[in-house]
Structure 1
Amino acid sequence: MDEIVVGLDIGSGKVCTVVGELGVDDQIEIIGIGTAPSLGIRKGVIIDLDQAIQSVKESIESAERMAGTRINSAFVSIAGSHITSVNSKGVIAISGESPEITENDIEKVIEA
């Protein structure tokens, strides 16, 4: 199987997932798509985390079924007037019982 590339767009109206297979000459063939209503998100702000998580899960699971593959990573797109970005590279170990990324983890990786 060729390399799999996944895009995940989290919008206020819907969550979209697209799965592509990188083939010969770096051509991407779309092998799966999934969409779900974007619940818990309004104007780019998460107002209900549980609903937002469920929307993302539904979109990903739908794309996985169509593509016949498991999604392990994705390029994520989010928008909003409150969004800022920092171009940075860093690696840290995520420890503890839960693999959840905390605010402290984010600060550490930005400083790395």
Structure 2
Amino acid sequence: MDTRLDLVFAALADPTRRAILTMLLEDDMAVTDVAEPFEMSLAAVSKHLAILTRAGLISQEKRGRVKWCKLEPDALKDASVWMQAFGQFEELDLDAFERFLDAELGQEPAR
């Protein structure tokens, strides 16, 4: 398995990181806003964001004094292609992925 795919699957293995991806499905968010719902330090959330960034699942950019996070859904395509090789998975459907993440986190589906 290539390194990029290893990074994507490792990033998705953590429930906090999956929750962050769910939040970013709605819109870009400032790092402080991403950190708000979690009962952990900003430094701990920043470590999760670094893992997601290294995996290519999100990008971060500075706008003025604020660092923003943006979902990069194309990073999931390689994982989807790899899973399709087993013939059991369909092409990546981001709406279905969002529903999966919402269900896993026990949230109401986004509208």
What's the TM-score bracket when you normalise by the shorter of the two chains?
A: under 0.3
Question: Which structure has the larger Rg over C-alpha atoms?
Answer: 1
- Normalising to structure 1: TM-score of the pair? 0.26
Q: Could you say which structure has the greater relative contact order, defined with CA pairs below 8 angstroms and 6 or more residues apart?
A: 2
Which one has the bigger strand percentage? 1
Which one has the bigger helix percentage? 2
- Normalising to structure 2: TM-score of the pair? 0.27
